[in-house]
Each structure stands twice: as structure tokens, then as C-alpha cells.
Amino acid sequence: MRRSIPWLTLGLLTLVVVAAYLRLRPHSQIRTPAPQMAGEPNLMLWAWETPEDLRALDVGRGGVAYLERELLLGKSQEVRLRHQRLLLPANVFLMPVVRVETTPAYRWRDANIPAIAEQITEAAKEPKVRALQIDFDAGASERPYYSTLLREVRRQLRPGVALSITALASWCGRGSWLHGLPIDEAVPMLFRMGGPAAVRGALPRSLSNIGEPVCTGSVGVATDEQWPTLDARQRVYVFRVGSWRAEDLASVNAGRYGQLQSLSAPSIQGPSL
């Protein structure tokens, strides 16, 4: 019995060392897409509050994440539905986006979380909708409430609908507050990250600090800023100021979405689909 104790101690020490290594090693794996989003296009075009005619889009090449409503939380709760036209091809992978904004005076501790969640999930009631995205730049003091809201949204969301959120890049490091939340993906927004527009658009972007697994399967970029080096397995969300053009859709349909960068450089072209 005494002879077995050193071996047991050695075994436990080995497990501790291996666990520490797995926790501290650089993140290199792309998260496997959630079952609800597996097989869907790896390119999503964000369609914000602009008139859009996307009927020429090849649904095998790209999907559409469109602003469906804005939820403004202040002295009262205000819902602004999309009012710009949105023309879509049949059978497109469609993801309504709900933008949430709060005023500085908004008091989350008095919020009716189930009622807010109901307004959000209302955007995904259409049977053809297979995923829902929430866009909310939650401040540090708002994150515990946002976490509660996301759990309530998941509870109310129709079965089989994936839940996506946009995320600030600073949310996606190791030890992220997003860890363990009932979401299928968090999309790191690698654009509009501060500084003058001319400088901001020319800066190279990096995914090296993305360590939270839920953030590794997707990335958000803009057509007027540099893109990071992308992994072909990642789902890429692309934002464009103004409406999408026919030539943009032609590039997508040809599998050349790296050409969507108006400030592109040869070293950071996006991969073909």
C-alpha cells in the first residue's frame, strides 16, 4: 500500500500539469459550429437599416443577417421595427438581428427581463428563421443582467433556432464572462475599433487574442477596413456602409468574398468558400 502512494501522487501531479498546460496554451482550435448552424453558409451579409435587394445572392454561398428591430431601453421600452425594404432569394439562411440600446439612466435592476426577452424572440417567430442574433454593446455593469437576459431568451426561443450574439473583441479573451452562457456563437467585431477612420481602416487585424471558445468559430469584419487572416472554417459576417451592390453579390457568388474589401491588401485576402 505504501509503495502505491508515490505513484498515486505522481499521477495526480501529472493530471494537474496537463490541465494547466491545456488551460494556458495558445488557442488554436476553431469551435465546431452548433448543430443548428452546421451546414449553413460560412458567409453572412449584414443588412442594416438600408434598402436591400439580395435576390441575386447564391444561397449556397451566403446567408443574410438583417436588422429586424431595435429595442431601446430608457424611461420606457421602445421597439423600432425595420422599415427599409429587404428583398431576398428563396431558401436563404436568414438571421434576424435585434439591436439593443440603453440610455445612461436605464436601471437594469428594475427591468422586466422576461418582457425584454419576449420582444427579442418575437423577431424569430417566422418558421423560415433558423437563427437569431442579438447586437448589444453591454457595459461592464450591464453584463450580469445581459447574461440573465440571454438565458431567458434561450428559454423562450423556439426549439431548433440558434442563438448568436455580437461581441466586442475585449470580451473574447481567456476567462471571458461569456463562458458557459447558452449561446451558439459570439461574433468578435473586428472593425470600428477606435481611432480616425483613415487610420482605423488601414490597421491589420489579428485573432491572436481570441481565447474564449464560443468566440472562435466566427468573426465580424467591414468592407472598408482591413480583415484579419481568416480560417476557412470560420463563419464570416460582413458589414457594409450602405446597400449591397450587384458587384458585391457577384463576388460572393463566385466564392471570392475577399474582394469585398475596398481597402484590401494581397496578404489578407479572405479565403474562397
The per-residue pLDDT for 273 is 37
Class of domain 39-268: alpha beta
pLDDT above 80: residue 241: yes
Task: Please measure the distance between the N-terminal and C-terminal CA atoms of the chain and give it in whole angstroms.
Answer: 60
The per-residue pLDDT for 95 is 96
pLDDT above 50: residue 82: yes
Average pLDDT value for residue range 244-268: 78
CB 215 within 8 A of CB 254: no
The string of pLDDT tens digits covering residues 171-199 is 999 899 999 999 999 999 998 754 444 44
Instruction: Compute the half-sphere exposure of residue 137: CA atoms within 13 Å on the CB side of its CA.
Output: 9
C-alpha cell at 266: 494581397
The string of pLDDT tens digits covering residues 201-237 is 444 456 778 889 999 999 999 998 888 888 888 899 9
The per-residue pLDDT for 33 is 58
